[in-house]
Amino acid sequence: MNKKVIRFTNQELDPKIKKEIEKLSFTKNFRSATAEEWYVFLHQFHDPETGGAAGKAIIHYELQGNRDVFINTTVIYDDPKLHDQINHELVYAISDEVVNRLVGYANTLLAVHAGANSYQAEYIH
């Protein structure tokens, strides 16, 4: 199934999205020669067991020679409220910001795991 995600706006969610993106922060948990793992902290969402990070981002660098770099990014959200379909646009906006801040403008394959809000996307720059 080749679904393309098309950005649409929900005026009611816009202030919530803006606040979450403004308060978005990260802590690096692990780094190896080919991967990084970051905890993703959100303002109103948290891990239900620990009360900590709402999720994590795993960035895997697949190095092919000196000139080709391909990045696979996985974002996993632990807060069940982010799995609720009403928060799909919020999950999309936060995940987009995570990619922009942690990966930048590299070509990226993104996999987001958030229950009913899970999706895959390609960032081609």
pLDDT in tens, 37-51: 999 999 999 999 999
Kindly state whether residue 92 falls inside one of the protein's structural domains: yes
pLDDT at 2 exceeding the cut of 70? no
pLDDT in tens, 71-92: 899 999 999 999 999 999 999 9
Predicted confidence at residue 106, as pLDDT, reads: 83
CA 37 to chain centre: 12
Kindly state whether residue 1 falls inside one of the protein's structural domains: no
Kindly state whether residue 9 falls inside one of the protein's structural domains: no
Kindly state whether residue 4 falls inside one of the protein's structural domains: no
Cβ atoms of 24 and 39 within 8 Å: the answer is no
Mean per-residue pLDDT of the chain = 89
pLDDT at 64 exceeding the cut of 90? no
Amino acid (one-letter) located at 55: G
Confidence of residue 8 (pLDDT cuts 50, 70, 90): low
Instruction: Determine the structural domain holding residue 67 and report its residue range.
Output: 14-123
Distance from C-alpha of 37 to C-alpha of 51, rounded to nearest angstrom: 19
Kindly state whether residue 60 falls inside one of the protein's structural domains: yes
How many domains does the chain contain in total?
Answer: 1
Predicted confidence at residue 5, as pLDDT, reads: 56
Q: Report the pLDDT averaged over residues 6-18.
A: 77
The values of phi and psi at residue 83, to 5°, are -90, -15
